[in-house]
Amino acid sequence: MDLSELNQIKERELAARKKYTLRCCMAAGCMSSNAESVKEELEKAVTEAGLGQEVEVRGVGCMRLCCEGPLVQADPDGILFEQVDPDAAKSIIAALKGGKAKARLGNPQSPFFTQQKSIVLANSGIVDPERIESYIAADGYQALYHVLRELDPNEVVTEMVTSGLRGRGGAGFPVGLKWGTVAKSPGAKKYVVCNADEGDPGAFMDRSVLESDPHAILEGMAIAAFAVGADQGFIYARAEYPLAIDRLKKAIKQAKAKGLLGAGIFDSPFNFTVDIRIGAGAFVCGEETALMMSIEGRRGTPRPRPPFPAESGLWGCPTLINNVETLANVAPIIRNGGEWFAGIGTEKSKGTKVFALAGKIKNTGLIEVPMGTPLRTIVEEMGGGAPDGGTIKAVQTGGPSGGCIPAHSLDTPVDYESLGKLGSIMGSGGMIVMDQDTNMVDVARFFMEFCMDESCGKCIPCRAGTVQMHHLLDKIMDRKATARDLQKLEELCDMVKSTSLCGLGQTAPNPTLSTLRFFRNEYEERLQPDVFGPRGNGKPAKTKASA
C-alpha cells in the first residue's frame, strides 16, 4: 500500500456514491429495536422500486439520538426518520421522490444535534463500520501515512503535547506526556494497549465509538505505536460488547489485508500488529495494572504504582495504555494539527468530550460537545430537560467514581477542573440525570453496592470497607441508623479513599461524599435518635452486616 493506492480507494469509493443515501443506524442501541430488519426491508424496497442505481442503503454507526431508534437518515437532504418500522420501508423510498413517509420525522436542526461538535464521532453515523473503504473515503489512514513517511516519532509526540489532549478514561492525564514517557523508557519491546473495558453504569461512549468507527481506533493505535516505538498492540474489550468486538475483528482483518497493519506499513520499516483480548466481566480490569494482569492471563487484580506501566507494564515492558476515546482523537489531531485541537475547549481541557446521556431526561443518547460547555446546555437544551414536566435534581457524572452535581450548579462548565471542584470527576463520560423523585441516599447506596460487588478483594479497605459502608447506607435507608452511624460512614469514606490500593477503592466513597455534601438533609432526616442518647432506651438495635 502506498499513498496513491490509498487515494485510489478513496476516489473509487466517492465515485460509487449514488444520488440518494439512506443511512441506517447499525449500532447496538438501534439494533436492539429491530434496525437490522429495517435495513433489510429498505434494501428490498429499493430493489423492488428499481432504484438500485440511484439509492444506496448504508449501515452506519451510532446516530446519537438513541431513545428514538431505529434511526434512518436520507441524504442529500438530511431527512431524519425516527422509530422506523420495517413496514414503513416502501413509503420511505417513495418519500425520496416526494411521497409521504409513514415514519416519524425527526428534527436534525434541534439543539441536540446543532450544539454538538464532532471530532471523535465525526465518522459515526456516516461511515460504514464494516467496510474499510468507507473509512478511507473519509480520509482514513491519511494521518498514519503522514506520520510514518513524513514525521519522526518525536514530532508525533510534540504534536500530541501541542494538542493538549488529556486522557479520556477519567483521570485526565496529559496524553503527550504519557506518550513521551513511554517513548523515552528504555526497552527493545514495547506495547500499546487500548482500554475498551468501559464499565460505568450508564456509560456507552466507547462501545459506540468501537461499533461506529473501529478503524479510527486502529489508526490511532498505530500512530501511538510509531510514536513510542511499539510493535504490538492489544485492545482489551469487555465481553459484554460482542458487536464491538465483532467489528474490531473485521476491521483488523481488513486493515491487515490492505497492508495497513502488519509488517512494513506504507513501505516504511514500521511493523505493528493488533490483537484483541476479551475481559471476563470484572469492572476492576479497567484499572490499568489489573488490565495488564488480565492480558497476561493472570487474575485481574491491581498492583501498587509505581512502577507505572510506562516504565514497567505488560510482561515488564514499557506499555502505553490509552482509552478508546483518547485514541479516537489521535488521527484527527494529526490530520488537522495540534494547534487546531488546542483551539477547541477551555484553557486546561482541550477538545471535545463524548457523553452518554441517560436517566430522567427526554433525549437520551450520545453527545459530543466542546469542553467548557455548561452542564445546563447539555441537560436542558440538548437533553430537553426532565420528561413529563419533572424538574432536574442532580446530574451524576463519573459513574461509581464520580459524584452528583446539584441542579443549582448546572451552570458549571464541563471540564476536568470544574467538575473536580464540585467533588465529582469528568470520568469516562457517563451522565445520568436525576429528577425530583430520586432519593440521593439510594443513589449513594446503589453506587456503593456496585463498588462492593466489583472490588477485587485484594486490599482490605476496599474489600471490607465497601461492605461496611454499604451496610451503613442500608441502615440509613431503612431508617435504623443514628448520628453515630453517619459519623462512622464519613470516617470510613475518608479511610477507604486514603488507604485503598487502586482507583476503584480510592474513588468508591465519592458518590456518598458528594451526596453528603449537597444533600445532607436527606441523610439526616432518616436518622433515629441514638439509643444511648438522652431519649434512647439503652438497648442497641439488633443488626447484622451482610457480606
Partner 1 sequence: MAAITLTIDDKQVSAEDSQSVLSIAQEQGIAIPTLCHLEGVYDVGACRLCLVEVAGVNKLLPACTTKATEGMVVRTDTERLRKYRKITLELLFAERNHVCAICVANGHCELQTMAYNQGMDHVRYDYCFPKWDMDLTHERFGMDHNRCILCARCVRACWHIEGAGTKNVAGRGARSHIITDMFQPWGEAESCTSCGKCVMACPTGALFERGSTTGEMQRDRTTLEFIVTAREKKQWIA
Residue 355 Cα distances to 352, 371, 402, 429, 502, angstroms = 10, 11, 14, 4, 25
Considering the rule CB under 8 A, would residue 409 count as an interface residue with partner 1?
A: no
Helix ranges, 192-237 (H): 205-212, 214-228
Residue 304 vs 389, nearer CB to partner 1 = 304
CB of residue 302 vs partner 1: minimum separation in angstroms? 10
CA angle 23, 24, 25 (to 5 degrees): 120
- For partner 1, the closer of residues 100 and 539 by Cβ is 539
Stretch that binds partner 1, among 65-73, 310-318, 385-393, 465-473 (CB under 8 A): 465-473
Q: Which three cell numbers stand for residue 473?
A: 447506607
Residue 84 touches partner 1, criterion: CB under 8 A = no
Select from 216, 492, 513, 516 the one that contacts partner 1 (CB under 8 A).
Answer: 492
Among residues 146, 189, 488, 526, the one that binds partner 1 under rule CB under 8 A:
488
Q: Least separation, in Å, of the C-beta of 461 and partner 1?
A: 6
Q: Which three cell numbers stand for residue 321?
A: 495504555
Cα separation, 126 vs 22, in Å, equals: 10
Q: Are 167 and 325 in contact (CB under 8 A)?
A: no
Binding letters toward partner 1, positions 107-126, x by CB under 8 A: --------------------
Instruction: Indicate the residue among 49 and 171 with the shorter CB distance to partner 1.
Output: 171
456 is a site residue for partner 1 (CB under 8 A): yes
Alpha-carbon distance of 333 to 210, in angstroms, equals 18
When asked if residue 468 is in the footprint of partner 1 (CB under 8 A), the reply is yes
Q: Nearer Cβ to partner 1, position 83 or 499? A: 499
Q: From 166-174, 240-248, 343-351, 464-472, give the range in contact with partner 1 by CB under 8 A.
A: 464-472
Q: How far apart are CA 243 and CA 59, in angstroms?
A: 14
Q: Are strands 319-323 and 191-196 parallel, antiparallel or unpaired?
A: parallel
Which residues on neighbouring strands pair with residue 358, listed in sequence order?
432
* Segment interacting with partner 1 (CB under 8 A) among 46-54, 309-317, 321-329, 457-465: 457-465
The number of angstroms, rounded, from the C-alpha of 110 to the middle of its chain's C-alpha atoms is: 23
Tell me: does residue 454 bind partner 1 (CB under 8 A).
yes
* Residue 531 CB, nearest approach to partner 1 (Å): 14
Strands 55-60 and 79-82: unpaired
Peptide bond into 76 cis (omega under 30): yes
Q: Is 65 in the site for partner 1 (CB under 8 A)?
A: no
Binding residues among 296-355 for partner 1 as defined by CB under 8 A:
299, 303-304
Provide the β-strand partners of residue 234.
Answer: 193, 275
Residue from 276, 410, 467, 531 touching partner 1 (CB under 8 A): that is: 467
Return the number of the residue (344 or 464) whose C-beta is nearest partner 1.
464
Stretch that binds partner 1, among 154-162, 346-354, 430-438, 449-457 (CB under 8 A): 449-457
* Cβ atoms of 314 and 191 closer than 8 Å: yes
Residue 432 pairs in a beta bridge with 358, 396
Cα distances (angstroms) measured from residue 543 to each of 56, 462, 483: 65, 22, 16
Q: Which residues of this chain interact with partner 1, rule CB under 8 A?
A: 282, 284, 299, 303-304, 452-461, 463-468, 471, 488, 491-492, 495, 498-501, 543-547
